[in-house]
A and B are shown apart, each in its own frame.
Chain A
Amino acid sequence: MEYKTPLVKIKNLCKSYRRGSQIIPVLENITFDIEDGEFLALMGPSGSGKSTLLNLIAGIDTFDSGIINVGGVDIATLSETELAQWRSTNVGFIFQFYNLIPVLTAFGNVELPLLLTRLSRKERREHVETALRIVNLSDRMNHYPGQLSGGQQQRVAIARAVVTDPTIIVADEPTGDLDRISAKEVLELMDRLNVEFGKTIIMVTHDPHAAEKARTIKHLEKGILNAHNQSRL
């Protein structure tokens, strides 16, 4: 077995929400590593803090204490602007409800993250076409989200997530809104991204079938990471 360095290091992570004067602890003292090239499924009951944890790793929310280090960067030290910049180059996002911009075509949606780069128009076009080819939607380039099925929309979202060639892909219940066949396609695609393109994937899911695709499964229970993690390897 080859030795892999951890890409994500999480140490004593605590996060609570404030509702009025009430403080609701969500994550308590979470510590774990995610290796480079990992495909991790995060499972657990509703309200256990899976989305919260995913958002923290992806740098779209702030936490109370602890450390999150991604690829050598302590993300708590980044300013909001630096964090935005960091996200745009390092993290690809896949959401449960695809979250495509309805007035943009599949092409426009996938091109969106590239508008923040210095790429020329031609280079952007090449990148977008490549990404859409990977998700097998080259022929739907000029379709608007409303003209695509849920599974196709999610594949466009995947293309958008990979077009910047990020190191990590985070997915919050990517198959939660899909039928079985579409879900299977999406999962196979994610598997390919992991195996073929070496992307580190962190996926929150309720679906045991989905979790099976992952190499590692971690369970969150009331904000505490369960000890008996199962692993496929």
Chain B
Amino acid sequence: MHIINLVFKNTFRHKLRTSLTILGIVIVILAFGLLRTVVSAWYAGVESSSASRLVTRNSISLVFPLPLSYREKIRQIHGVKLVSYGNWFGGNYIDEKNFFANFAVEPASYLELYPEYILPSNQRAAFLRDRKAAIAGQKLAIKYGWRIGDTITLKGTIFPGNWEFVLRGIYRGKDKSTDETQFFFHWNYLNESLKKTMSLRADQPGFYLVGVSNPNLAEEVAVALDKTFKNSLAETLTETEKAFQLSFVSMSEAIVVAIQLVSFVVIVIIMAVLANTMAMTARERIGEYAVLKTLGFGGWHIAALIFGESLFISMIGCTFGIAFTFPIAKVFGDTMGTYFPVFNVATKTIYLDAAVSLFVGAVAAVIPTWRAIKIRIADGLRRIG
């Protein structure tokens, strides 16, 4: 036998109390992990954005378009390598509940700008060939059971009518942080229809996407670009893709802060719960600790017993919490798929889970240990009987 055996045996003396405490820790670790994942999912678009891509839009607001004629002018700016453009289409699939991002884009340049969308070359060729072709991310295709060759109808909200597309490709993300829930089709298909039905809205991309030859030039190019269209009918606002994405999500910064605060608060709460469990435990065992001290065991032994038990409980909770985080995050990610296109539990979150549990376990043991060590043996023995 080793003194550590006593830790294991002690831990399960009050099975109900220990189990409830462990359950609490499991829930906190789960909540902590999921909340953190929600926050990082929220910023996923920002994280995955490239430093060598710029987004140019109308300086008044994103809802105002830009003339198609800007394309050539942008191309001529020094440092610009590639120009693509598109519109947020905002179509619904079957009904409004089925939300996902769908864009009309200039396909060839767009795919060149976004090498992280991986498309087999035959699908790529098929997509570029067919005017009514569309491609979808793998997650989206799986969610709706789409196969290549399927006809998909989107109901336009910004551009009224039923729009039919033929699925010609399903793209995969280069890594986990790539959004696989988007839908792209030919900008020309949209534009030609608009020419017939609403000619006033034709030839007007909602945004330009600009690839720069060198990320270090991004800032310069953005300034030069906006200067080019200064005092024109449609002035531009050009930002890096990151800044652009951030301007979307930062609207809800308050929510993100609230979520982070909540994940911090649950940790403080569980710390109090575990500290209470350990205080009760240590108080009940004051007599036993006194006996151990009588036999010659020192303060370090008592500390090892109490810290060991506290850490043991918190690490059991942590282990189960982490084990449950993955399946639950998966279910959560699947149901919330199109709102949080990238919903992965980061490795860092797991490390944080472990660190938090260690911290909680250690802090909870401090006061009970201090009390158990400080009490005089004779007084401790007096508590028995």
A contact residues vs B (CB 8 Å cutoff): 52, 55, 58, 60-61, 81, 84-85, 87-89, 93, 95-97, 99, 101-104, 108, 111-113, 115-116, 160, 177
* Residues in A whose Cβ lies below 8 Å from that of B13: 102-103
Q: Size band of the B side of the interface?
A: 20 to 34
**Contact present for B384 and A81 (CB under 8 Å):** no
Once the chains are docked, how many angstroms separate the CA of A176 from the CA of B2? 32
> A89 to B288, alpha carbons, bound, how many Å?
20
A52 to B376, CA, bound (A): 13
Q: Give Cα distance in the complex from A55 to B293, angstroms.
A: 13
Q: Choose the segment among B3-11, B86-94, B238-246 that binds chain A (4+ C-beta atoms closer than 8 Å).
A: B3-11
A78 to B17, CA, bound (A): 41
Give 12 new A-B contacts, CB below 8 A, not counting A52-B378, A84-B293, A177-B385. Answer: A55-B381, A60-B293, A61-B376, A84-B297, A84-B298, A88-B296, A89-B296, A93-B291, A101-B288, A102-B13, A103-B9, A116-B295
Residues of B within 8 A of A115 (CB): 1-3
Indicate if B137 sits at the interface (CB-CB under 8 A).
no
Chain B residues with CB under 8 A of A93: 291, 294-295
Total A-B pairs in contact (CB under 8 Å)? 66
A60-B378, A61-B376 known; A85+B296 contact, CB < 8 A: yes
Say yes or no: is B24 at the interface (Cβ < 8 Å to chain A): no
Given contacts A61-B377, A96-B385, A103-B10, contact A108 B1 (CB under 8 A): yes
B287 at the interface (CB under 8 A from A): yes
Q: Top 5 A-B pairs ranked by shortest CB distance?
A: A88-B296, A103-B9, A60-B377, A61-B378, A97-B385
Q: Which B residues, 37 to 53, have Cβ-Cβ distances below 8 Å to chain A? A: none
C-alpha gap A116/B2 in the complex (Å): 10
Given A101-B291, A104-B9, are A116 and B378 also a contact pair (CB < 8 Å)?
Answer: no
Nearest A residue to B300, CB-CB = A81
Give chain B residues whose Cβ lies under 8 Å from the Cβ of A61. Answer: 376-378
Q: List 11 A-B contacts (CB under 8 A).
A: A58-B294, A60-B377, A61-B378, A84-B296, A85-B296, A87-B295, A87-B296, A88-B296, A95-B381, A99-B381, A108-B1
Residue from the set B5, B288, B293, B377 with the largest chain A CB neighbour count within 10 Å: B377
Chain A residues closer than 8 Å to B5, beta-carbon distance: 108
Contacts of A52 in B (CB 8 A): 378
* Min C-beta distance of B118 to chain A, whole Å: 58
Cα separation A88 to B297 with both chains bound (whole Å)? 8
- Give the shortest distance, in Å, between A100 (CB) and chain B (any CB): 8
Would B295 and A112 count as touching, CB distance under 8 A? yes
Contacts of A112 in B (CB 8 A): 292, 295
Task: Tell me the minimal C-beta distance from B211 to chain A in angstroms.
Answer: 68
- Are B296 and A99 in touch, CB under 8 angstroms? no
CB-CB contacts below 8 Å: B204-219 with A: none
Known contacts A60-B377, A61-B377, A97-B385; A104/B296 CB under 8 A = no
Cβ–Cβ contact A88 & B295, under 8 A: yes
Tell me the complex Cα distance, A55–B5, Å: 29
Give the residue name and chain of the B residue nearest to A103 (CB).
Answer: B9
Contact A103–B293 (Cβ < 8 Å):
no
**Complex Cα spacing A101 to B378, Å:** 17
Q: Which residues of A contact B297 (CB under 8 A)?
A: 84, 116
A160 to B291, alpha carbons, bound, how many Å? Answer: 12
CB closest chain-A residue, reference B288: A101
